[in-house]
Structure 1
Amino acid sequence: MTSKPSPAPTTREKRTPAEQPPVAKPPCDIHASAIIAEKAQITGTHPVEIAEDVVVHPYAKIRAENGSVSIGKGSMIWERAVVGCAEGSYACSVEIGMDVSIETGAIIEGAAIGDGTIVDVNAVVERGAVVGKWCRVAALERVKAGEKLEDFTVVFGDGRRRTDETIRNHEDVREARRDAQVKTVAVMRGLVADAKGKWL
């Protein structure tokens, strides 16, 4: 009785992920009260400064490849928002003021965003743009490269501009918006798990 020869062993090439260079970790100055979600990304080699009571949500990206990034007290960077400039582009630093809300999917490459400003869902502030205090860039709107928006400007409806006279002329309305931001930050601090230790 003859035995059949064993079939040649099949060898499957084990595929390992291509080795990638480690992601650059920027020098970070993060206040003890700030919340940085585990799945947030902070990349680059330039300084990143994150002030007190800032909340950076999961999947938000802080990009310091081509310049420093500073985020002021009480500001929030929501999911999938991007602050800073991609590697390989021009040099650019970004300064976010206090009590600013960068909503989901918004992209901020602008030089400065003033205190109390809201950049709505999927809006874009292009390179070098300066957005004043208490402005609002509506969802899907765009502030063009190098553009300067005066305080209290609203960008809406296919790039139209107007001044928000209510915010400009009533301190109590500005105070109410600031209080709403503070309350939202307080709620998010309880919901977003903090992982800032990996950046320190």
Structure 2
Amino acid sequence: MASRPAPAPKRPSQLPASKPPCTIHPSAIIADKAQITGSHTVEIGENAVIHPWARIRAEGGKVVIGKNSMVYEGATVGTVDGEDVLIGDSVNIETGAVVEARSVGDGSTVEVNAVVGKGAVLGKWCRVAPLECVEAGEQLEDFTVVYGDGRRRVDKTTKEHAEIRELKRAGQEKAVQAMRTLIPNAMAKWAG
């Protein structure tokens, strides 16, 4: 039998996404498989963590990720068209979540597969439960929890006790330090 010729090498069907201008704090951790695209500026703060397969989209405007914030696997932050996205300090954007909000306040958490619509504003210490949705343009006051089919309540424990907020901040800092040992840093791929 005759041997078959080797197949021709495949070429990518499309050009790679453009690399945006990035300002990244030296202590930030960005996984090699993270995706950062667009033409607008991306700023990543001190000790921020961008997990593998997380997507930062700066096609529609600037994206700012605050210090000690984490964007988990499969989460998307930013917009394709529209406005800037500001993520505060000590924020968690969990696996599969989509955040197109104008801003997410310090200490807030957007849980697994939750969606925060374009132009929404989340106050400080808010929580959006798994699979929940904050509509485009909606504004949530500080300490709001979105849960169970779109219901809302105020997290009085966190609101009324500064020591709880401080413990949550300290826990976030420890989680960031744990990620430092688990995620190889490929920040150089995006810097400069």
TM bucket normalised to smaller: over 0.9
| Unmatched runs of 5 consecutive residues or more in structure 1 | 1-6
Q: Percent identity?
A: 56
Matches of residues 89-108 of structure 1 in structure 2 within 5 Å? 90-108=81-99
Counterpart for residue 187 of structure 2: 196
1:162-195 Cα deviation digits (max 9, x unpaired): 0011111000111111111111011011111000
Q: Does structure 1 residue 119 correspond to structure 2 residue 121? A: no
Q: Distance in 2 between matches of 1:189 and 1:95?
A: 23
Q: Does structure 1 residue 62 correspond to structure 2 residue 56? A: yes
SS at match of 1:146: coil
RMSD of aligned C-alpha atoms? 1.7
Aligned length: 191
Q: Distance in 2 between matches of 1:13 and 1:61?
A: 33
Q: Does structure 1 residue 110 correspond to structure 2 residue 101? A: yes
SS at match of 1:83: strand
1:100-135 Cα deviation digits (max 9, x unpaired): 011111100010000000110000000000000000
Paired letter, 2:16? P
- What is the TM-score of this pair, normalised by structure 2? 0.94
Paired letter, 1:177? K
Q: Does structure 1 residue 168 correspond to structure 2 residue 159? A: yes
| Unmatched runs of 5 consecutive residues or more in structure 2 | none
1:143 maps to which of 100, 122, 134: 134
Counterpart for residue 27 of structure 2: 33
Change (3 A) 1:17 1:164: same
1:113-162 Cα deviation digits (max 9, x unpaired): 00000110000000000000000000000000000000000000000000
Structure possessing the higher radius of gyration over alpha carbons: 1
Deviates further, 146-155 or 20-29: 20-29
SS at match of 2:172: helix
- What is the TM-score of this pair, normalised by structure 1? 0.91
